[in-house]
């Protein structure tokens, strides 16, 4: 059964984002209290936040208002970068560890412009940088 908020996400994602962010602000980013206010479960709220990609906005709200709560879960790109460093720069091993296709991982790193961060983290760990794939001309 689709909740009112779930239906709103499908029908009007911008309005759903506003509603979730306002509830979180009123609840001082306490996600359990926000879920109660939004008449949904904590787990559903978590999925809605993921689906609407609100974690960066929530982290910013926490920082700006100095709310005494933890930031959201690590984002996939953070897990990718950490795993590449753990596997000593091996894209193939990192992809296997995260159950990803290596080409998808490279594409994600390229589209999010994260190669510089990857190579910086590898350098900090005393490892050689990874050669950045060349973009194809369209």
pLDDT greater than 80 at residue 103: yes
Helix, strand counts (H, E) of the chain: 9, 0
pLDDT greater than 70 at residue 137: no
- The per-residue pLDDT for 73 is 64
Residues 20 and 48 in one domain: yes
Phi and psi at residue 36, to the nearest 5°: -65, -45
| Structural domain count of the chain | 2
**Residue 71 placed within a domain:** no
Q: Which domain holds residue 43?
A: 4-65
Residues 57 and 99 in one domain: no
What is the number of residues in the chain? 138
Q: How far apart are CA 113 and CA 77, in angstroms?
A: 11
What number is the average pLDDT over the span 75-93? 88
Higher pLDDT among residues 75 and 54, named by residue? 54
- The per-residue pLDDT for 138 is 53
What number is the average pLDDT over the span 61-67? 85
Residues 111 and 87 in one domain: yes
What number is the average pLDDT over the span 31-50? 89
**Residue 12 placed within a domain:** yes
**Residue 132 placed within a domain:** no
Q: How far apart are CA 5 and CA 33, in angstroms?
A: 15
Last residue of a domain, one of 21, 38, 65: 65
Torsion from C-alpha of 94, 95, 98, 99, nearest 10 degrees: -150
**Cβ neighbours around 49 below 10 Å, total:** 21
Residues 8 and 44 in one domain: yes
- The per-residue pLDDT for 1 is 47
Q: How far apart are CA 47 and CA 87, in angstroms?
A: 30
**Residue 109 placed within a domain:** yes
Q: How far apart are CA 106 and CA 81, in angstroms?
A: 11
Residue partners of 110: CB distance under 8 A and separation at least 6:
132, 133, 135
pTM of the predicted model over 0.85 = no
């Amino acid at each position: 059964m689709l909740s009112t908020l779930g239906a709103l996400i499908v029908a009007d994602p911008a309005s759903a984002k506003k509603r979730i962010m306002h509830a979180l602000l009123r609840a001082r980013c306490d996600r359990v209290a926000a879920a109660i206010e939004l008449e949904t479960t904590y787990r559903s709220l978590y999925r809605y936040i993921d689906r609407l990609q609100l974690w960066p906005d929530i982290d910013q709200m926490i920082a700006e208002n100095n709310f005494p709560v933890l930031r959201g879960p690590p984002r996939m790109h953070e897990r990718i970068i950490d795993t590449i460093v753990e596997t000593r720069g091996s894209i193939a091993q990192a992809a296997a560890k995260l159950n990803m296709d290596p080409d998808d991982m490279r594409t994600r790193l390229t589209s999010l412009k994260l190669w510089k961060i990857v190579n910086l983290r590898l350098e900090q760990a005393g490892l050689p940088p990874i050669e950045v794939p060349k973009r194809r001309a369209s």
